[in-house]
Structure 1
Amino acid sequence: MLRVLTVALCGALSLTACAQPAPPAAKPGAQPASSAAPANANADQTVRSALAGLDPKFKPDYIGAAPFPGFREVLVGGQVLYVSDDGRYLMQSQPYDIQNRAPASSAGLLAYRKQLLDKVPRGDRIVFAAANPKHTLTVFTDIECGYCRKLHQDLPELNRMGITVEYVAFPRMGPGSKDFTDMISVWCASDRRKALTSAKQGQPVAPKNCTSPVAMQYNLGQQVGVSGTPAVFAADGTQLGGYVPPAQLLKALERQAN
């Protein structure tokens, strides 16, 4: 979906670049159109219509107020976009909050992500629990990626720090791949924790089959915007990035909690 979205946007941009005349010179004292436009009480619908004008296949999963004025925050195909309330401007870059020294995201988007992540039952996750938990992470993982293996090696230290890690599956190679099949085998093992650790150590995965949650978790990862692994989410839906060393990860969690 991300690739389709990017292609569609590029196509729309190239068409408008060819079709639109050069803008007239601004008159002295004139205000830009976006700032002069009155506040739009129906900004969500305006943005939805503007995206449909780019491509009728755009079906936003979420539209809400952006963490800065004048824009709506949009989640479509797992990608976060920012569209001006008047539907004129679109940005694909993740904004950075200089004051809070963190990527900016709205309470609405965090709540939406949290709602999706909370749908994964704890029994469908592979949990490495801290004895005295202070923080809980949902981590989309793959058995093949190097940084997933590095994070897994950090589990004892993370647990000592009071960080519980709850793994969900995101086989990056997608359905039909050996990676996908191996992760089904891990989730179907009688001892999932042992099977996952063994697989992350490069050991052969014993073939198993069952009604597993791997496909559902993979689809969920795409919904919340996972494009690589590990993808680490805090309990409130904040995406903390990929691999982060334990001490740095703890600081991020404590800063977020304050």
Structure 2
Amino acid sequence: MSFRIRVAAIASAVAVAAIGAGYVLSAGAAEPALDKVKATVQKALGPNVEIKSVTKSPLAGLYEINLGSQVVYSDATGRYVLNGDLLDTQTATNLTQEHLAELNRVKWSDLPLDRAVKWVKGNGARKIAVFSDPNCPYCHKLEQMLTQVDNITVYTFLFPILSEDSNTKAKQIWCSADRAKAWRDWMTAKTAPGGAGTCDTPLEANLKLGQQLNVTGTPAIIFPDGTRAPGLIDAATLERKFAALKKS
């Protein structure tokens, strides 16, 4: 199950009229065209949504606006906005998705893995990090799928965004004597975690981290090369990704 944070919630508005503000320009910000886009867009929607960068797109006269969780496009005046994918027909490449993936690449070594629930199967050589809500149905399906995968280490960042009960269960799981067992028992067998959940937890920090990394849905899987898979994937897709990582 997915959710929308503030930036993603703007998407429908982008489709019909405008985009967000709270603007940070990338290299080249001194160009008059970029300044004009900045001023117009900022005035349109105000300061509540951060625009991470504005750059020239490969198409003349079209500017790429990075909202973190999505990329949209504007003309040089900032008046007209296009919400959609830019395709290169010669190379059969989705330039929007390709660039968004690069913009959202995560540095694995920067992940605070001590704030994650860790479990290991086999030799644990293959690693993933997952942002997951205890009450997310697709997160449950992912955990059940992972029981089919060998030689894996999973770092789960408890990310309770669906309900107050999600927060309660996340606290109970984190405060359990065996966090990994409590997490997997709940996610694979619906065995409810016990205890009051009154210890210090990293939940608030995890929520802030997810926002910083533009995690807009659960589950969100991050691989050691910094790429991600938003949403549920199957075992075959995961194995193909691991094989690609091994070759790289």
TM-score (norm 2): 0.71
Residues 10-49 of structure 1 aligned to structure 2 (within 5 Å): 12=17, 41=31, 45-49=35-39
Among candidates 147, 151, 160, match of residue 138 of structure 2: 147
1:182-232 CA distance string (max 9 Å, x none): 101211222110110122121222122122111221232234333332111
Q: Find the aligned partners of 1:58 and 1:253 in 2 and give their Cα distance.
A: 38
* Aligned match of 1:246: 235
Please state whether the residue corresponding to 1:226 is helix, strand or coil.
coil
Instruction: Go from structure 1 to structure 2 and tell me whether the alpha carbon gap of 1:132 and 1:66 turns closer, same or farther (over 3 Å shift).
Output: farther
Are 1:5 and 2:10 matched, yes or no?
A: yes
1:119-150 CA distance string (max 9 Å, x none): 44221111223544554222111222222112
* Aligned match of 1:185: 172
* Aligned match of 1:82: 72
Q: Find the aligned partners of 2:15 and 2:84 in 1 and give their Cα distance.
A: 15
Residues 225-244 of structure 1 aligned to structure 2 (within 5 Å): 225-244=214-233
* Aligned match of 2:115: 124
Q: Find the aligned partners of 1:237 and 1:189 in 2 and give their Cα distance.
A: 30
Instruction: Go from structure 1 to structure 2 and tell me whether the alpha carbon gap of 1:94 and 1:106 turns closer, same or farther (over 3 Å shift).
Output: same
Q: What one-letter code is carried by the residue in structure 1 that aligns with 2:184?
A: T
Q: What one-letter code is carried by the residue in structure 2 that aligns with 1:71?
A: Y
Q: Find the aligned partners of 1:62 and 1:5 in 2 and give their Cα distance.
A: 15
Are 1:63 and 2:53 matched, yes or no?
A: yes
Higher relative contact order (CA 8 A, sep 6+): 2
* Stretches of structure 1 lacking an aligned partner (at least 5 in a row): 14-39
Are 1:204 and 2:196 matched, yes or no?
A: no
User: 1:44 touches 1:63 (CA, 8 Å); kept in 2?
Assistant: no
* Aligned match of 1:105: 99
Instruction: Go from structure 1 to structure 2 and tell me whether the alpha carbon gap of 1:172 and 1:106 turns closer, same or farther (over 3 Å shift).
Output: closer
Q: Find the aligned partners of 1:66 and 1:251 in 2 and give their Cα distance.
A: 34
> Identity rate of aligned residues, in percent?
24
Please say which of residues 98-107 and 204-213 is displaced more in the overlay. Answer: 98-107
How many residues align? The count is 223
Would you identify which runs of 4 or more consecutive aligned residues in structure 1 move more than 6 Å? none
Please state whether the residue corresponding to 1:105 is helix, strand or coil.
helix
* Stretches of structure 2 lacking an aligned partner (at least 5 in a row): 1-5, 19-29
* Aligned match of 1:52: 42
* Aligned match of 2:64: 72
Please say which of residues 129-138 and 202-211 is displaced more in the overlay. Answer: 129-138
Please state whether the residue corresponding to 2:72 is helix, strand or coil.
strand
Q: What one-letter code is carried by the residue in structure 2 that aligns with 1:121?
A: P
Q: Find the aligned partners of 1:195 and 1:189 in 2 and give their Cα distance.
A: 7
TM-score (norm 1): 0.69
Q: Find the aligned partners of 2:74 and 2:232 in 1 and give their Cα distance.
A: 32
Instruction: Go from structure 1 to structure 2 and tell me whether the alpha carbon gap of 1:107 and 1:149 turns closer, same or farther (over 3 Å shift).
Output: closer
Please state whether the residue corresponding to 1:57 is helix, strand or coil.
coil
User: 1:47 touches 1:72 (CA, 8 Å); kept in 2?
Assistant: no
